[in-house]
Each structure stands twice: as C-alpha cells, then as structure tokens.
C-alpha cells in the first residue's frame, strides 16, 4: 500500500484567518489520521501579491495552532527547509514548471488577446459558461493562428500568455471524498486555460500540478471553492502522465451572514484572535465543533482530535460561524 502524502499549500498574500485554519486543520487531520507525511508548500508565485513577511507569519501561525509538518520550511522560522522534494517555495521552482510546459508540447500555444479583447469576446459569446475568478471562459481565438499571424502580433509588441489547447480532451471524471462523483467538461470550466501569464508569471493550475506530482502528494484536502479548478488540474496530470491524487473538497467556513471568510475579515485573522487573548486550543476546539468532531466547542489540540477524526459528521454546504 502506498503511504499517504498530504500537503498544506498556503498563499502568502495576507494573514491567515479562521477559514484558512479550518482548511489546514482538516487537511492536517486527514493526513495524520492516515499516518501520512505532510508537506508545507508556500504558493508564492504571484510576485504582485506574495511576500516573504506573510510567508513567515503563516509558518508562525500554523506552528502556533499546533499543526506540524514533515517537509518544507522550518517551523521555528529559521532559514532553510527539510525534505527531499524541495524547494518547497513555488517562486524557486520555475525550472520545473518550464520542463512540464515543454512536455506538454504542441498542446501549448501563445495567446495574444488583451484583457479587453477577452471581455469583448466573452460578451459576444452566447451563454458563456460561468466560471470562478481563477479562469475566465476563453473561446479559443488564438488557438489556430498561423506562424505568420503570430509573428504579426509579436511585431506589434504583444507578449503572449501560454494556454493549453483543451480541444478533443474527454470530460474529466473523478470521485471527491466529500462532494461525491464529479464530471466536468473542460469547456464548462473555462476552456483553454493559461499556463503562464503574458508577464511570465506561472499560472496556479500548472504550478500546483507540477508540485503535487513531484512532491508525491496523493491526498489533497482543500476548500470547495477550488473544486472548479480540479478538472483543469486533472487534465494536466493526465497529459503529463502523472498519477492523480485523491481529493476532498471541504465546505467553506463563512461568517454569520453567510459570507465566505476572506482576508478582509481582519478580526478573524489568527493574529487578531491571538491578540484578543484566544488560545490555539480554543480556536481548534471551535473548528472541531463546527466540523462535527465534538459536541461542544471545548478547547482541544489538533492531536487530541485524531482519535475521533472522521469526515462522517462534517456538515454539507457552507459552515457558518455565529456572531461571537
């Protein structure tokens, strides 16, 4: 039997909030319950938003919560990392993304459309499929440009992004441990998606697949908001000939008004909660209560939850925090 390898994959683009803690606690529990190895990977590919300071604060917060990991940045904040699959920081993995891009070969093409053109094309498309903010539907405008047409656009000073040609790829079918059987057409998930932005920044979809594959991750636990990205990632796993991980997409933690917790919920950042005198055990106990792992929000350490951990009592649909 292969052993479980799970991961925590924060984006250091702001402070961790209770919603992140919820997802990371559940990912930690699922991996530890299976006796697995846990990887911490910093998803800092977006140079406009990710900073080293946020990354350090996230390591501190995770450690403070009582979550540990076996590979990745040192939990005590000292420089360097442990593990054989590093670097565990996406901004240092560009060469690996480049190799994967190369292996995708003729499936990859340059797209010269500007944002405005994409918007206009979208308006012109009847019944454009709804997709989330991780990828706008793309009608395939630049898919079959001739070498001449490409040269013309380049001569006009345009820098292309790179997209995956999803033409002819079968529907993506998979089983989610929590959401059940899934089937998506790639066209319904936005069509040909970007692998690299026009400014050279690697796209999340490619980076996450390369990292999960090369880090041997076979168990992915993450928020339901990412479910719509999973078919695109699975298409890449398949094309690159890498085994697919198992997925569990967990319901999102929302505020009392039903709005999903986000960086703007400042008072629910771990830092603010700590400053307000909350202990990590109180927060973990509350999250465990919301996950159906205990009947009352009694303080607990993550390790104390391992014995009773099961997905069985996790609520379906968004999980609401009450006003307190």
Q: Footprint of ligand GLU on this chain (CB under 6 A)?
A: 9-11, 43, 208, 222, 226
- Non-local (6+) Cβ contacts of 116 within 8 A are none
Residue given tokens 């479910």 in the structure block: 227
Stretch (H or E) spanning 111 = strand 108-111
Closest CB to ligand GLU among residues 72, 160: 72
SS3 state at 26: helix
Q: How far is the CB of 7 from ligand GLU (least distance, A)?
A: 8
Closest CB to ligand GLU among residues 11, 219: 11
Closest CB to ligand GLU among residues 153, 218: 218
Q: How far is the CB of 279 from ligand GLU (least distance, A)?
A: 25
Cα 119–chain centre separation: 25
Closest CB to ligand GLU among residues 166, 230: 230
Closest CB to ligand GLU among residues 265, 300: 265
- Kindly state the tokens that stand for 33: 């319950």
Distances (CA, A) of 254 to 265, 274, 287, 290, 312: 10, 20, 12, 11, 20
Q: How far is the CB of 15 from ligand GLU (least distance, A)?
A: 12
- Kindly state the tokens that stand for 65: 């919560």
Contact 45, 86 (CB under 8 A): no
Sign of the Cα torsion 16, 14, 193, 6 reads negative
């Amino acid at each position: 039997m292969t052993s479980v390898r799970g991961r925590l994959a924060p984006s250091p683009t702001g402070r961790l909030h209770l919603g992140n803690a919820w997802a990371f606690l559940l990912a930690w529990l699922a991996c530890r319950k299976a006796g697995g190895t846990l990887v911490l990977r910093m998803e800092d590919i977006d140079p406009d938003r990710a900073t080293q300071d946020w990354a350090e604060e996230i390591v501190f917060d995770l450690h403070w919560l009582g979550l540990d990991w076996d590979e990745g940045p040192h939990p005590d904040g000292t420089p360097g990392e442990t593990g054989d699959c590093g670097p565990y920081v996406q901004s240092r993995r560009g060469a690996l993304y480049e190799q994967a891009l190369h292996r995708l070969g003729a499936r990859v093409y340059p797209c010269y459309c500007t944002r405005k053109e994409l918007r206009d094309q979208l308006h012109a498309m009847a019944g454009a499929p709804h997709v989330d903010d991780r990828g706008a539907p793309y009608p395939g405008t630049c898919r079959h440009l001739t070498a001449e047409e490409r040269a013309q656009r380049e001569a006009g000073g345009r820098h292309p992004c790179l997209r995956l040609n999803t033409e002819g790829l079968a529907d993506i079918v998979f089983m989610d441990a929590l959401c059940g059987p899934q089937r998506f057409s790639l066209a319904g998930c936005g069509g040909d998606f970007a692998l690299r932005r026009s400014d050279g920044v690697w796209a999340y979809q490619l980076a996450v697949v390369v990292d999960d594959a090369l880090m041997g991750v076979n168990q992915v636990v993450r928020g339901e908001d990412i479910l719509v990205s999973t078919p695109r990632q699975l298409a890449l796993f398949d094309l690159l000939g890498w085994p697919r991980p198992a997925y569990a997409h967990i319901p999102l933690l929302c505020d009392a008004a039903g709005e999903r917790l986000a960086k703007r919920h400042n008072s629910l950042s771990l830092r603010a909660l700590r400053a307000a005198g909350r202990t990590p055990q109180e927060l973990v106990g509350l999250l465990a209560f919301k996950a159906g792992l205990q009947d009352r929000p009694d303080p607990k350490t993550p390790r104390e939850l391992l014995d009773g951990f099961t997905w069985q009592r996790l609520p379906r649909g968004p999980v609401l925090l009450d006003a307190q």
